Amino acid sequence: MTIWWLYFILALLGAAGIAFVWLIVKLKNGAGGGKAKRNPQDSLEDAANQDVEHIFNEDFREELRNRGRLHFEKIIGENAMFLQQDLRLTTSQLNEYMKTEIANKLQEEFKKYEESIMDAKQLAIESIQKTNAAIDEQRKQMGIQVQQEIVAEKKQLVKRFEDNMADIINHYVMAAIGDQIDLNDQLEYILADLSANKQAIMEDITNGA
Amino acid sequence: MEPKLPISVVSPVDLGRLIRELQAIDNTLSQQDLRQDEVKVPKTSKLLDELVELNKADLSHPTHRQALQEFLTDLRAHTPVVHISFSADPSPLFVGKVMTWLRQEVHPTVLMTIGLQPSIGAGCLVRTTNKYFDFTLRANFEKHHDLLMAKLREVNATPTPTLIPGVPEGVAA
């Protein structure tokens, strides 16, 4: 809107300049043209022209020129002042406009930037949540697996202990009281075992060879 | 009458020793007889004394000597041998008791070789011609595995740990 006003003012100034030049040219033409038409019928006109020339002599013309120059300068000065005011106004408006536009643009950019940051933040949060969930799941599975392995190991240890319990207890008993067991004390136990297996021993002795 | 083998003759080594001693005595007495010297029976070992006394034989008679030799040689060739391993070297009294039981219950002329295995702990290992009998304490524990497990669970079920029954407190500590 301000640009159009500027164009309008410049056009107005141009039109005023053209009109002023045209006026000067017209005045010059009017002064020199009467000499060319020197016919008898125009004697009155010549007389009138002489009067005119007498009235509008060189001083008067110079006066008019000065007045016209002053008026033109005044108009030019006023227009320059108007133009300056308009330019200031336009500049201020342009500044305001630029400020507003830049502020809007900045706000939009900031908004976009903030949105992108929020999106990135959301993505990061989702990623972290997914990672946490995966870690929790993995930890849970690992815990279950470790628990299972511990239970299996425990079962294996218990089974190994149960399988070898006779050896363990025998070793323990021998380590504890082995030196206190005399063969004579074991005689009854040994004879009882031999009696229990007497039939097998006899069969093997009689039929084995 | 069937000759008898004394309890003190335990292993084939004793039997071989008797046979050699009897052969030596027989050679000595035969030479004395050939020289027509006075037949004087040399001093014999305790094993041979027991054998002669048990069978009521007279070593001065060649027929008795011959019969004993044949009996011992036949035993060495045919009599069954039982191998028994103990955790420690058994005393002669202990060996005599085991031998008495074997001669009375299993075979009248059975012989026994004795082995030593300290890892047995308590009990013995008996090996006959084709069989192997484990009479050790460990085998007994294995035989009563369920009872041991039941006792162990019973001990574990109690809130406070207790000492193993039958084991002295100092030893368990």
Average pLDDT over residues B137-153: 80
Interface test with A, best of B82, B100, B114, B135 (most A CBs within 10 A): B135
Residue A209 pLDDT > 70: no
> Which of B91, B105, B135 has the CB atom closest to A190's CB atom?
B135
Residue A34 pLDDT > 60: no
* Same-domain status, B74 and B22: yes
* Same-domain status, B24 and B50: yes
Global ipTM? 0.73
Residue B103 contacts residue B97 (beta carbons within 8 Å): no
Set of chain A residues whose Cβ sits within 8 Å of the Cβ of B170: none
What is the tally of structural domains in chain A?
A: 2
What token pair was written down for A41? 């019928």
Q: How far apart are CA B145 and CA B156, in angstroms?
A: 16
In degrees and rounded to multiples of 5, residue A83 shows phi and psi of -60, -40
Per-residue pLDDT band for A128 (boundaries 50, 70, 90) equals very high
Cβ of residue A174 closer than 8 Å to a chain B Cβ: yes
What is the tally of structural domains in chain B?
A: 2
Cβ of residue B145 closer than 8 Å to a chain A Cβ: yes
Residue A179 pLDDT > 80: no
Instruction: Indicate yes or no: pTM above 0.80.
Output: no
Average pLDDT over residues B1-14: 83
**Cβ within 8 Å, pair A201-B122:** no
Nearest CA in chain B to A191: B98
* Residue-range definition of the domain harbouring residue B103: 81-140
**Cβ within 8 Å, pair A209-B129:** yes
Cβ of residue A204 closer than 8 Å to a chain B Cβ: yes
* Same-domain status, A111 and A187: no
* Span B16-53, pLDDT tens digits: 998 998 888 888 888 887 887 777 777 888 888 888 88
**Cβ within 8 Å, pair A183-B94:** yes
* Same-domain status, B113 and B125: yes
Q: How far apart are CA A170 and CA A178, in angstroms?
A: 9
Q: Which pLDDT score is estimated for B161? A: 52
* Same-domain status, B94 and B36: no
Compute how many other C-beta atoms are within 10 angstroms of the C-beta atom of residue A75. Answer: 14
Nearest CA in chain A to B98: A191
* Same-domain status, A10 and A109: yes
Asked whether residue A142 is domain-assigned, the answer is no
Asked whether residue B151 is domain-assigned, the answer is no
Provide the mean pLDDT of chain A. Answer: 84
Asked whether residue A106 is domain-assigned, the answer is yes
What token pair was written down for B110? 């059975």
* Residue-range definition of the domain harbouring residue A22: 2-127
* Span A42-74, pLDDT tens digits: 677 777 777 777 777 788 888 888 988 898 888
**Cβ within 8 Å, pair A201-B133:** yes
Q: How far apart are CA B9 and CA B50, in angstroms?
A: 9
Helices marked H in chain A — which ranges? 2-33, 43-55, 58-163, 165-177, 183-196, 198-207
Asked whether residue B148 is domain-assigned, the answer is no
Distance from CA of A169 to the nearest CA of B (A): 8
Cβ of residue B125 closer than 8 Å to a chain A Cβ: no
* Same-domain status, A86 and A179: no
Of A127, A151, A178, the position where a domain reaches its end is A127
Amino acid of residue A123: L
Angle between helix axes B62-78 and B12-34 (nearest 10 degrees) is 160
* Same-domain status, A13 and A61: yes
* Same-domain status, B74 and B85: no
Distance from CA of B142 to the nearest CA of A (A): 5
Per-residue pLDDT band for A152 (boundaries 50, 70, 90) equals very high
Set of chain A residues whose Cβ sits within 8 Å of the Cβ of B138: 166-167, 170
**Cβ within 8 Å, pair A201-B91:** no
Instruction: Calculate the alpha carbon distances from B27 to B17, B30, B51 in Å.
Output: 15, 5, 19
What token pair was written down for B132? 């192997």
Count CA within 13 A, CB hemisphere, residue B7: 13
Set of chain B residues whose Cβ sits within 8 Å of the Cβ of A166: 138-139, 141-142, 145, 148
Interior CA angle at B129 toward B101 and B124, to 5°?
50
* Span A80-89, pLDDT tens digits: 888 888 888 8
Q: How far apart are CA B3 and CA B131, in angstroms?
A: 29
Q: CA nearest A5: which of A94, A86, A85?
A: A86
Cβ of residue A188 closer than 8 Å to a chain B Cβ: no
Q: How far apart are CA A7 and CA A90, in angstroms?
A: 12
Beta bridge partners of B113: B83
Residue A33 pLDDT > 60: no
Set of chain A residues whose Cβ sits within 8 Å of the Cβ of B123: 186, 189-190, 193
* Span B46-91, pLDDT tens digits: 888 888 888 888 878 888 888 888 888 888 888 888 899 988 888 8
Distance from CA of B2 to the nearest CA of A (A): 19
Q: How far apart are CA B171 and CA B163, in angstroms?
A: 10
* Same-domain status, B67 and B92: no
Distance from CA of B138 to the nearest CA of A (A): 5
Q: How far apart are CA A96 and CA A99, in angstroms?
A: 5
Q: CA nearest A208: which of B84, B129, B76?
A: B129
Beta bridge partners of B112: B82
> How, if at all, do strands B111-116 and B81-86 pair?
parallel
Asked whether residue A159 is domain-assigned, the answer is no
Q: How far apart are CA B58 and CA B148, in angstroms?
A: 59
Asked whether residue A146 is domain-assigned, the answer is no
* Same-domain status, B62 and B23: yes
Interior CA angle at A16 toward A13 and A19, to 5°?
150
* Same-domain status, B129 and B97: yes
Q: CA nearest B84: which of A177, A186, A171, A168?
A: A186
Cβ of residue B150 closer than 8 Å to a chain A Cβ: no
* Same-domain status, B16 and B64: yes
Q: Which tops the pLDDT comparison, A16 or A186?
A: A16
Per-residue pLDDT band for B170 (boundaries 50, 70, 90) equals low
Compute how many other C-beta atoms are within 10 angstroms of the C-beta atom of residue A76. Answer: 16
* Span A199-208, pLDDT tens digits: 888 888 887 6
Asked whether residue B29 is domain-assigned, the answer is yes
Residue B109 pLDDT > 50: yes
Asked whether residue B159 is domain-assigned, the answer is no
Per-residue pLDDT band for A97 (boundaries 50, 70, 90) equals confident
Amino acid of residue A61: R
* Same-domain status, B94 and B130: yes
Q: How many residues does chain A have?
A: 209
Which of A109-123, B115-129, B154-168 is predicted least confidently? B154-168
* Same-domain status, A101 and A172: no
**Cβ within 8 Å, pair B105-A198:** yes
* Same-domain status, A181 and A101: no
Collapsed DSSP state (helix, strand, coil) of residue B132: strand
* Same-domain status, B21 and B53: yes
> How, if at all, do strands B125-127 and B81-86 pair?
antiparallel
* Same-domain status, A117 and A188: no
Amino acid of residue A106: L
Q: How far apart are CA B37 and CA B103, in angstroms?
A: 41
